[in-house]
Chains A and B, each alone.
Chain A
């Protein structure tokens, strides 16, 4: 049953999501051609270049936002408006309905973000003529840099600051991306479910719930950062050797940044699960279709 729900939901959402991602691909392709042709490197076209760059960034942001909003609206429409009559009379449990919508929403969000990232990388690559390689990227993290064959040593590497090897960092970034996609979809659905409880003004309720979620997220993330900074302050003040400050700058940075990634991943995961549970419990116990 879950498979069938997923299949049909992909069909329904694909009608909007596929063209959206197609636009991204087409724009990226055009952008790469433009970059490779070096037309934009002419000085007199500089304002145009800035404009196009600006438009591109706006488009990326817009596509991401539209994806998010569309998925929430689709969820709301198929669960809590007239179409909800069809959804909730299917011989499936409300949790199955939620899971299918979550999976589909998650997949589209991940696809859209991945394509956006790839698009940016491709454009950068096209601009530089694809002359850089993976080893160039790795240099960003290492303590030696080779430019045109010359090697210089940077005193501290990104890896030391962040406290992770390149491979680990990449893994964490990917994990962060996936979890935040889950968070975005799950809290979006949770907000929709909470919003429709507010019987007289369901849409307003949903918007308020979304705003509330955003606020809560910011508070939690902010709280994490503050607690990390506080820990550092405490550590510094209790260990009053000035030596600490001078020589171990990297160590200090590390103690800020290293826990940051896991903390954020955890925070998004917890908030996402909260949204998921809110949506599920409401759909199971508090359905109230007009």
Chain B
């Protein structure tokens, strides 16, 4: 069963084509980079997959069912901004996730929080931006979902935190699941990717394995990206 499939997916805002005729297929067991300059449509694509936007045209299937309750159960999504109620305590949010997501493992969450010395009784609004982002990542990775979608998980975060985040992603990786990481900080993540999708102006420019790029083009993904998207 294909984990994610997009067929002729388009999203238009008035006259502006955010995404045009996207055709995409993703299987389980991969860590995929969704790469592209700002405004290329990465976040739009992600929001469509997660059911936060409705397509203008085309279809999306997650585990062969259309976007809906089943797909939302299968997807664990990390937005690129804070989306939780600041007044909540960490343990309240963990209870919340546990209530709504069958696949949420609170033990893992508490474990990861303990390693970072984050007190579960703390309120979100007392935390620094970096700490809040780590908490959000921990929540997302504590689920045993089929598809993890991380929108810019390491942007705006210091290098040590970046290492921690990448480590967390790898630690929680499951070969029965896939992780889709949208980012423009390519050199930091490319070593953990096995596939990349280059998106530009709402169109897929390239969808290959990372090894192919390194073997054929003899370049890093980062270098190729700079070439392909030269301003």
Contact = CB atoms under 8 A, between A and B. Distances in A.
Interface string B23-63: 00000000000000000000000010011111000000000
Given A8-B99, A85-B79, A86-B84, A91 B72 contact: yes
Given A90-B100, A91-B101, A92-B69, A287 B84 contact: no
Given A86-B84, A91-B69, A287 B101 contact: no
A83 B72 contact: no
Contacts of B68: 93
A1 to B, nearest CB: 7
A88 B85 CA distance: 14
A93 B79 CA distance: 20
A1 B100 CA distance: 7
A89 B54 contact: no
Contacts of A93: 68-69
Given A82-B81, A82-B83, A83-B83, A88 B51 contact: yes
Nearest to B47: A289
Contacts of B81: 82
> Which size bracket describes the interface of A in this complex?
20 to 34
B77 interface: yes
Contact of A89 (B52, B70, B82, B96): B52
A91 B51 CA distance: 10
B53 A289 contact: yes
A89 B50 contact: yes
A288 B47 CA distance: 9
Given A289-B47, A289-B52, A89 B85 contact: no
16 contacts: A8-B99, A12-B85, A15-B87, A82-B83, A83-B85, A84-B52, A85-B52, A88-B52, A89-B50, A91-B72, A92-B72, A93-B68, A285-B54, A286-B54, A287-B51, A289-B53
A88 B68 CA distance: 10
A33 to B, nearest CB: 35
Contacts of A287: 51-54
A4 interface: yes
Interface string A1-18: 100100010001001000
A269 to B, nearest CB: 30
A285 B52 CA distance: 10
B75 A89 contact: yes
A123 to B, nearest CB: 35
A286 B81 CA distance: 22
B84 A83 contact: yes
B117 to A, nearest CB: 25
B53 A288 contact: yes
Interface string A254-290: 0000000000000000000000000000000111110
A89 B72 contact: yes
